[in-house]
Amino acid sequence: PAATTSAASTATRFPISHDPISDIVKTKNFIDNEFTDSNAVEWFEVHDPATNNLVTRVPQTTDKELHAAVLSAEKAFPAWRATSIITRQQILFRFVYLIRTHWDRLAASITLEQGKTFKDAKGDVLRGLQVAETACGITTQLTGELLEVAKDMETRTYREPLGVVAAICPFNFPAMIPLWSIPIATVTGNCLVLKPSERDPGAALILAELAREAGFPKGVLNIIHGGKKTVNFLLEQQSIRAISFVGSNSAGEYIYSRGSANGKRVQANLGAKNHAVILPDADKQHTLNAVVGAAFGAAGQRCMALSVLIMVGETKEWLPNLVESAKGLVVTGGFEKVCDVGPVVNVASKERIEDIIKSAQEENASILLDGRNYKVSKYPNGNFVGPTVITNVTTDMRCYKEEIFGPVLVCLAVSSLEEAIQLVNRNEYGNGVAVFTQSGPAASYFQKNIEAGQVGINVPIPVPLPMFSFSGNKKSIAGGGANTFYGKPGLNFYTQTKTVTSLWRSENTDTGKQVVMPSH
């Protein structure tokens, strides 16, 4: 878009000449390949988490505008599905190239609106870009099956697009999670209506601009904004055949049940409470570095953050070292050259996290490192929570039961690997888990007996690369995890199988009327 037409322009200018007042723009929708103003009466404010200066206002898009977006996708579908797979692949190649060339710009938008460090924001973009790059292999990934099942008769399968599909995204990965949907949904021939988080829509808009530049025809990708009202609208649209959701349990369980009841395919990745289990034979330095990075990186706002530490046997003696290491992290604005932990996304989030720390204190846990009321002199108005370590935690405490989604590590001690496994498996979430050990048999036993979608062995954040699939277990995924994101299941989610059985007789034989069930 022109330099002044979208929230993306804020990101373009930032941080070169960012003025929090004159740069305030109203975030636009992206419908029919155009950035359009909304006539909304209700707006969400996005504040820079490091300063709380207003960055942009995001519309609660009107029903008329939402209809226009869905109609645009509906109209685009017949021609897009008829577009050759090679042409779609070429567009995706250009999209991938453009994401790479706009990498810093995307990351700057993320740091500005979401707060994570610039380097971490670059990782956010990269992990999404990898999904897009892998989707470029669509020409071999989408081949069907074929078998001659009888003389002159063959059965073959096709994977066909669904039609119009929608994606609803969370705030914590403003580029990666839209990119779990955009490349796969579109390269398989669907038209996508995507709703970014109303808390940080900038990266999705930049991606839309790049998609247009890459050659996506109008209507293939539409971006619409808003909160629950927009979600409800999407859930009620008959032409929307599938919904991808990533976010919290409260929203996701609702979206899964209402979407499914309305006959849609729904994939929904939900909340987490990821445990790290340390066995006494673990490499101490590697383990402490890994746990500190995974507990406090991105200010704990990753669905794969390690937020619970299970110390087996004497590893509880490592706590003072862990606390020292956590104290050494630099907490400041995400654009600072040296920054390990940025602010959390908004004031409400900071208050919620601090309230959970308070509850732990009230429930007689011990706060070994307290990140409440954390002050960063250069950013006096930022939403900072310092790294927090809580010990003497029991499983009935609020700090153990709830997903905190902040830089808070709760620590429990157990005496054996078996006890650790049982504790992890009793937790209602099952997103990620990590074990630290130098014993192959112990790791193997852990891997077989643990209930989690992603398991790391001496790897703190085992987010699978896109040739695999990001799954989940128990309460971390809706619908029992039948529909997972990217990889082969991701392709399956965005396509439906058609199985064709054909007969081309090589000789004229009259087989007569077949009134029994054909058995070929």
Q: Return residues touching ligand NAD (CB under 6 A).
A: 168-173, 195, 197-198, 227-228, 231, 246-248, 250-251, 254-255, 269-272, 303, 403, 405, 431, 470, 472, 476
Find the shortest distance in angstroms from Cβ 323 to ligand NAD: 25
Residues whose CB falls within 8 Å of the CB of residue 244, separated by 6 or more in sequence, listed in order = 165, 166, 167, 168, 180, 181, 185, 266, 267, 268, 485, 493
Question: What is the arrangement of strands in the sheet containing 306-312, beginning at the earlier edge strand?
Answer: 366-369, 388-391, 408-414, 306-312, 274-278, 432-436, 454-457
Catalytic residue among 136, 169, 191, 303: 303
Name the residue nearer to ligand NAD (CB basis): 433 or 443: 433
As measured in angstroms, the least distance from the Cβ of 156 to ligand NAD is: 34
Q: For ligand NAD, which is the closer residue by CB, 201 or 382?
A: 201
456 phi/psi in degrees, rounded to 5: -105, 135
Q: How far is Cα 39 from Cα 59, in angstroms, rounded to an integer?
A: 8
Q: Which CB sits closer to ligand NAD, 256 or 446?
A: 256
What are 29's strand-pairing partners?
Answer: 36
Indicate the residue whose CB is closest to ligand NAD. 247
State the Cα–Cα distance between residues 36 and 67, nearest whole angstrom.
Answer: 14
> Is the CB of 125 or the CB of 319 nearer to ligand NAD?
125
Residue 199 CB, shortest distance to ligand NAD, in Å, is 7
In the block, residue with structure tokens 């509850």 = 359
411: phi then psi, degrees, rounded to nearest 5: -120, 135
DSSP 56-90: EEEE---HHHHHHHHHHHHHHHHHHHHS-HHHHHH
Residue-wise DSSP of 421-480: HHHHHHSSEESEEEEE-S-HHHHHHHHHH---SEEEES-S--PPPTTS-B--EETTBGGG
Shortest approach of ligand NAD to residue 341 CB, angstroms? 18
Taking the complex as a whole, the smallest distance from the CB of residue 420 to ligand NAD amounts, in Å, to: 22
Is residue 288 exposed (0-12), middle (13-18) or buried (19+ Cβ within 10 Å)? buried
* CB of residue 300 to ligand NAD, shortest distance in Å: 10
Residue 112 CB, nearest distance to ligand NAD (Å)?
Answer: 17
**Minimum distance, C-beta of residue 176 to ligand NAD, in the bound complex (Å):** 8
Q: What are phi and psi of 49, to 5 degrees?
A: -60, -20
Nearer to ligand NAD, 138 or 251 (CB): 251
- Helix boundaries (H) for 83-195: 85-101, 103-114, 118-135, 138-141, 178-187
CB atoms within 10 A of CB 384: 25
* Rounded Cα gap, residues 15 and 12, in angstroms: 8
Please count the CA atoms within 13 angstroms of the CA of 120 that sit on its side-chain side: 29
How far apart CA 422 and CA 433 sit, in angstroms, is 13
CA distance 373 to 375: 6
* 12: Cα separation from own chain's centroid: 24
CB of 69 to ligand NAD, least distance (A): 15
**Would you say 134 or 469 has its CB closer to ligand NAD?**
469
> In the annotation, is 303 catalytic?
yes
298 — phi, psi (to 5°)? 55, 25
**For the chain, how many residues are written?**
520
CB nearer to ligand NAD: pick between 161 and 170: 170
- Whichever of 161 and 456 has its CB closer to ligand NAD, that residue is 456
State both tokens at 515.
């009134």
Q: Render the burial of 305-320: b for 16+ CB within 10 Å, e for the rest.
A: bbbbbbbbbebbebbe
Nearer to ligand NAD, 343 or 472 (CB): 472
Residues marked active site are found at 303
